[in-house]
């Protein structure tokens, strides 16, 4: 475990697996931590650098006003530069942050993987923002365990646990390193932002890119995966039909990503 400091002095928790080339930076999703993408590190070649975004996991929590896509992109950039990463993997928020970097530096990485993309150049709807604000309210006002229970119930997931009890274990794993204050601040700020100003900027990205998306996910819409697959000239889209198919395909997806990064 190590630490890197962002452009504004925020301490970023970093975990490194493996050694040698290639060097890959892995950026997790909103509310999660560096553990979210740990399934990809054992099989992927070379050095794998996972880190916790500001306000998440084991990283520092800056004051409000430092949780926009430019800030999260800066986190990716400083970690990648510190370790010499030539490849980048991002899911959800991580995808948006990496995309922000690419809009400014289209040749920033040699290979890219986007898993369940969530952000581009369109703002969220008022209903979506209200949902994120409710989650932030719960994190700020309730004990952590109680807040997580309320969040999962409100998301509609609780009704699925009877038929798929393993799903609760997966959800709880993603929340185990929750940092309530930092995540609440991130939810209130980054959800009001857009990752990039103009999606057409991504046509300048020449790096081979693997995009993994699934149908039926309102937070990570399949249409966004299709858009990225069309915009980036050397992109390949893997589109899964459901959440069940996604989880069932994890071993194959991990192997596919590992081969792609190599």
Look at residue 134 and tell me if it is in a domain.
no
The angle subtended at Cα 171 by Cα 169 and Cα 176, nearest 5°, is: 90
- Residue whose entry in the numeric block shows the structure tokens 């997806």: 253
Residue 5 clears pLDDT 80, i.e. is over it: yes
Between 105 and 248, name the one with better pLDDT. Answer: 105
Asked whether residue 252 is domain-assigned, the answer is: yes
pLDDT band at 155 (very low <50, low <70, confident <90, very high): low
14 inside domain: yes
Q: Could you read off the pLDDT of 220-238 as tens digits, one per residue?
A: 999 999 999 999 999 999 9
Q: List the beta bridge partners of residue 26.
A: 50, 89
Range with the poorest average pLDDT among 6-15, 43-52, 97-106, 171-180: 171-180
Sign of the CA dihedral running 112, 118, 124, 130: negative
The answer to whether residue 228 sits within a structural domain is yes
Total number of domains in the chain: 1
Domain enclosing residue 252, as ranges: 2-122+194-261
From the list 144, 132, 134, the residue with the least C-alpha distance to 67 is 132
What are the tens digits of pLDDT across the range 73-97?
Answer: 999 999 999 999 999 999 999 999 9
Q: Could you tell me if residue 200 is inside a domain?
A: yes
pLDDT at 41: 87
Is there a domain that residue 45 lies in?
yes
Q: Residue 48 in contact with residue 34, Cβ under 8 Å? A: no
In this structure, is residue 241 part of a structural domain? Answer: yes
Mean pLDDT of the region 8-25 = 97
Is the pLDDT reported for residue 160 higher than 70?
no
Q: Is residue 9 part of a domain?
A: yes
Write a three-state SS string for 52-103.
Answer: CCCCCCCCCCCCCCCCCHHHHHHHHHHHHHHHCCCEEEEEEHHHHHHHHHHH
pTM of structure: 0.94
pLDDT bucket at 25, cuts 50 / 70 / 90: very high
CATH, residue 70 = 3.40.50.1820
- CA distance linking residue 144 with residue 190, whole number of Å: 21
């Amino acid at each position: 475990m190590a630490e890197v400091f962002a452009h504004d002095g925020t301490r970023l928790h970093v975990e490194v697996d493996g050694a040698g080339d290639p060097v890959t930076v892995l950026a997790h999703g909103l509310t999660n931590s560096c553990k979210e993408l740990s399934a990809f590190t054992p099989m992927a070649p070379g050095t794998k650098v996972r880190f916790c975004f500001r306000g998440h996991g084991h990283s520092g929590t800056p004051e409000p006003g430092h949780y926009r896509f430019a800030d999260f992109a800066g986190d990716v950039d400083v970690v990648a530069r510190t370790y010499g990463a030539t490849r980048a993997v991002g899911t959800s928020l991580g995808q948006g942050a990496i995309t922000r970097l690419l809009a400014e530096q289209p040749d920033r990485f040699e290979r890219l993987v986007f898993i369940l993309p969530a952000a581009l150049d369109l703002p969220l709807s008022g209903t979506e923002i209200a949902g994120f604000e409710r989650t932030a309210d719960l994190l700020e006002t309730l004990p952590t365990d109680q807040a997580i229970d309320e969040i999962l119930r409100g998301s509609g997931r609780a009704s699925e646990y009877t038929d798929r009890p393993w799903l609760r274990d997966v959800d709880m794993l993603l929340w185990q390193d929750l940092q309530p204050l930092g995540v609440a601040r991130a939810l209130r700020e980054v959800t009001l932002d857009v990752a990039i100003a103009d999606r057409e900027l991504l046509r300048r990205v020449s790096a081979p890119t693997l995009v993994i998306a699934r149908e039926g996910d309102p937070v990570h819409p399949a249409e966004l995966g299709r858009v990225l697959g069309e915009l980036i000239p050397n992109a390949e889209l893997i589109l899964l039909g459901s959440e069940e198919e996604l989880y069932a395909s994890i071993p194959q997806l991990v192997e596919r990503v590992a081969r792609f990064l190599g």
